[in-house]
Amino acid sequence: MNSKKDFLTSYGALTAIFLLAIIFLGQLNYDAWNAFAAPTIPTSLNNYIEPQPLSGNTAKIAALGENEFLANIYWLELIQYYGGGDPSGKYRKLPDLYNTITDLSPKFLTAYQNGLLVLPGEGFVDQAIALGKKGEENLPNSWEIPYYLGLDYHIYKKDYVAAAEEFTKASKLPGAPANTAYFAALYYSQTDQRKISYDLFLNIAQTSTDPYLKDRAQKYADHLAITFSLQDAITAFQNKYHRNPNSLQDLVDKKIINNIPVSPLGFPFNYDSKSGQISEGK
């Protein structure tokens, strides 16, 4: 007993220093191995682990009532996933993540808005539209969802009728920006739905409090009214001469109209002599 005590008294400090040195060397060796040794696990597996979200129904059961909490966990995961970058550039799990989040939290407006902006850009146009439709069901009073959905229809589907319908829907909801109905009218004017477009522009011109929108909408309505009158003149020409006019000047020459009107918007009126139809140029 005494000899042990003596040893510690005499060499205790020295022993402690020796042990510390061993610990320090061990740490140095570990750091060197960490920094310079060849990886034992293929780094391709380490680089990236794709999220595996539960389906909406399973997630709801697993949440045990803490739906918003789990939705927020997935929301943070989605931000990390999209923000972190997918080496293969596919973001395959994005639609699943948005779906699970909005199944768990059906009134999470930002998730819908974000999905409608992000998904189509990554090639998930149909999934974005499905997400938007789900959002319209769950948040029927939110103008943002039909607004963003309309943009998706326009940009990625080139479906102007659907875009116009979504913008019309958005324009009737509380808080929608004043230009929403204006956009709807513009989209309709791009299709064969010019009458709807004319009515919308006229309504904006009569009701808008924004002087710029009011003026612009009135000019669009006037422009469309001229288009309608030109189309009527072409019909009159066809009834009289049983053929299409060769040009708009033909209408003036045959005294159907006095002159070719000028659009208040400064757009030329394009005429197709084969179909006998007027289209607005820009």
Instruction: State which residue, 101 or 278, has the beta carbon closest to other proteins.
Output: 101
The yes or no reply on residue 55 touching other proteins (CB under 8 A) is no
Where do the H-state alpha helices sit in the chain? 2-36, 43-47, 56-62, 67-84, 94-104, 109-121, 125-138, 144-152, 160-171, 179-189, 194-207, 211-241, 248-253
Instruction: State which residue, 21 or 79, has the beta carbon closest to other proteins.
Output: 79
The yes or no reply on residue 107 touching other proteins (CB under 8 A) is yes
Distance, in Å, from the CA atom of 282 to the CA atom of 269, rounded to the nearest integer, reads 9
Shortest reach from residue 137's CB to other proteins, in Å: 17
The yes or no reply on residue 174 touching other proteins (CB under 8 A) is no
The yes or no reply on residue 137 touching other proteins (CB under 8 A) is no
Q: In this structure, are residues 46 and 83 in contact, taking their beta carbons and an 8 Å threshold? A: no
The yes or no reply on residue 79 touching other proteins (CB under 8 A) is yes
Q: In this structure, are residues 248 and 276 in contact, taking their beta carbons and an 8 Å threshold? A: no
Q: Give the pairing type, strands 269-272 and 277-280.
A: antiparallel
Instruction: State which residue, 109 or 161, has the beta carbon closest to other proteins.
Output: 109
**Among residues 243, 247, 195, 202, which one has the least CA distance to residue 221?**
202
Binding residue (CB under 8 A) for other proteins from 65, 87, 89, 175: 65
Report CA-CA distances (Å) from 219 to 41, 177, 237, 278.
Answer: 68, 20, 27, 18
Concatenated DSSP letters of 144-211: HHHHHHHHHIIIII--HHHHHHHHHHHHTSTT--THHHHHHHHHHHTTT-HHHHHHHHHHHHHH---H
Binding residue (CB under 8 A) for other proteins from 39, 47, 61, 242: 61
The yes or no reply on residue 118 touching other proteins (CB under 8 A) is no
Shortest reach from residue 86's CB to other proteins, in Å: 18
The yes or no reply on residue 72 touching other proteins (CB under 8 A) is yes
Instruction: State which residue, 103 or 165, has the beta carbon closest to other proteins.
Output: 103
Instruction: State which residue, 74 or 143, has the beta carbon closest to other proteins.
Output: 74
Instruction: State which residue, 42 or 85, has the beta carbon closest to other proteins.
Output: 85
Binding residue (CB under 8 A) for other proteins from 99, 100, 102, 114: 114
The yes or no reply on residue 110 touching other proteins (CB under 8 A) is yes
For Cα atoms 169, 108, 64, give the angle at the middle one, nearest 5 degrees. 140
The yes or no reply on residue 69 touching other proteins (CB under 8 A) is yes
CB-based contacts of 124: which residues, under 8 Å, 6+ apart?
94, 95
The yes or no reply on residue 75 touching other proteins (CB under 8 A) is yes
Instruction: State which residue, 113 or 193, has the beta carbon closest to other proteins.
Output: 113
Contact residues for other proteins (CB under 8 A)?
60-61, 64-69, 71-72, 75-76, 79-80, 105, 107-108, 110, 114
